[in-house]
Structure 1
Amino acid sequence: MRHEEVIADLHRRWVFGWERDEGDAPFDFRRTFGEFYDFNSPDVRLYDDFDPAQRVATTAAGYGSIWEPAFDRMVSAHHAVDDGPHVVAGHELAASTLTFVARITMPDSTTDIRTTTSLVWHRTADGWRIVREHNSSKVLPAGDLDGVLPTPKTP
């Protein structure tokens, strides 16, 4: 399989790693994303403007510590790929861009978003791993994704 195809598959699977259903076990970032992020590289920089504090994580574990509490509070999170992934790949580095939509349901609110995500992948002995991430999200009007996302599972 060509590098571009491998990265495209990884990026698609990465999106759906963020799925949550009511009653899921506590969100464990390393367990969920261990095959995606480089947990050992000193060159990691990960950013998502959906983080209210807009922190830049310099380790994969640090990035997980940003998202674990938020995802543990969620009732559900459902995603669909809207565009991409678009990939450029060399022998050691690759970049991919993908746009997804998501509905995030908290105990007291629901938010629909459209996010453009750009990932830089480094080829390691264990496979391709994320070393850079930049996500830009736009909150959509309430109900904008009605009928777009799959029906949530019930516990």
Structure 2
Amino acid sequence: MSDEQLIADLHSRWVFGWERNEGDPPFDFRHTFGDFYDFGSPDVRLYDDFDPEQRVATTAVGYGSIWEPSFREMVSAHHVVDDGPHVVAGHDLAASTLTFVARITMPAVITGIRTTTSLVWRRTPDGWRIVREHNSTKVLPAADLDVTLPAHEAP
């Protein structure tokens, strides 16, 4: 498998790491994403404008602490990749982008989003790891969400 294919697969799997189903165990960022982020690099910069506080995390642990509280409260989150992933890869660094749509169900509200995500990956002895992340999100009107991502049906 080429590095481009490997990064594309990793980015797709990363999106679905954020999936939540009602009744899932509490969200544990490091458990879910330990094979994706570089937890030891001083070069990490991670940003998602969906964070109401618009924080830039400089560690993977810090990034997890931004998301764990809301993901633990969440009833469900379901995603579909809308475009990509698109990858360029060099020897030690790679970049990937993709767009996804998600339906996020909190106890009192359902929110639909379309997010463009860009990740920079560094080759480490343990494999490719995320050292940069930038996500730009647009909240979707309910009608758009219903067309793009119908309500999840339990099996």
Matches within 5 A, 1:89-108: 89-108=89-108
Assess, with a 3 A threshold, how the Cα gap between structure 1 residues 30 and 150 changes in structure 2: closer, same or farther: farther
User: Is the Cα contact below 8 Å between 1:112 and 1:143 reproduced in 2?
Assistant: no
Point out where structure 2 has 5 or more consecutive residues left out of the alignment.
Answer: none
Tell me what 1:3 maps to.
3
Assess, with a 3 A threshold, how the Cα gap between structure 1 residues 30 and 122 changes in structure 2: closer, same or farther: same
Identity of aligned residues (%): 80
- Alignment root-mean-square deviation, CA: 1.3
Corresponding position: 1:74 with 2:85:
no
Matches within 5 A, 1:53-132: 53-132=53-132
TM-score using structure 1 length? 0.96
The Cα shift of 1:145 comes to: 1.9
User: Is the Cα contact below 8 Å between 1:47 and 1:57 reproduced in 2?
Assistant: yes
TM-score using structure 2 length? 0.96
In the comparison of the two structures, how many residue pairs are matched?
A: 155
Tell me what 2:14 maps to.
14
Point out where structure 1 has 5 or more consecutive residues left out of the alignment.
Answer: none
Segments of 4+ moved more than 2 angstroms: 147-155
SS at the partner of 2:146? coil
User: Is the Cα contact below 8 Å between 1:22 and 1:154 reproduced in 2?
Assistant: no
The structure carrying a bigger helix percent of its residues is 2
The Cα shift of 1:143 comes to: 3.5
